[in-house]
Amino acid sequence: ITTSLLRTKNLMSQELDRVSTLNTTIDDDGALLHDAKEEHAGMGGTMKGAKKVMGRLGRQDVRDAVILKCAVGFYWVVVAYVLWSRIKVPFLP
């Protein structure tokens, strides 16, 4: 009976150690998940800000393209005027 009780005591001790280790692991994982949740919540504001900035950059890109097209058009109008004033085509006023 004594050996049986000692064996039961050893098994309970081993199980207690295993449960203690498991409890520590679960606590560590909970802390890790909590940190990940806080980091994820912080990223939400960053993503919204980045979305605004990307929209602003898109509008700026469209505005720059329009300005560039107008500048090229103005350049060709000036070139045409200079050529017209220098060459003096007789049938044009």
Check: pTM over 0.75? Answer yes or no.
Answer: no
How far CA 4 is from CA of 7, 47, 59, 71, in Å, comes to: 5, 63, 81, 97
What is the pLDDT, as a whole number, of residue 93?
Answer: 58
What is the pLDDT, as a whole number, of residue 28?
Answer: 93
pLDDT class of 45 with cuts at 50, 70, 90: confident
Query: 13-22, 26-35, 63-72, 80-89: which has the minimum mean pLDDT?
Result: 80-89
> How distant is the alpha carbon of residue 59 from its chain centre?
19
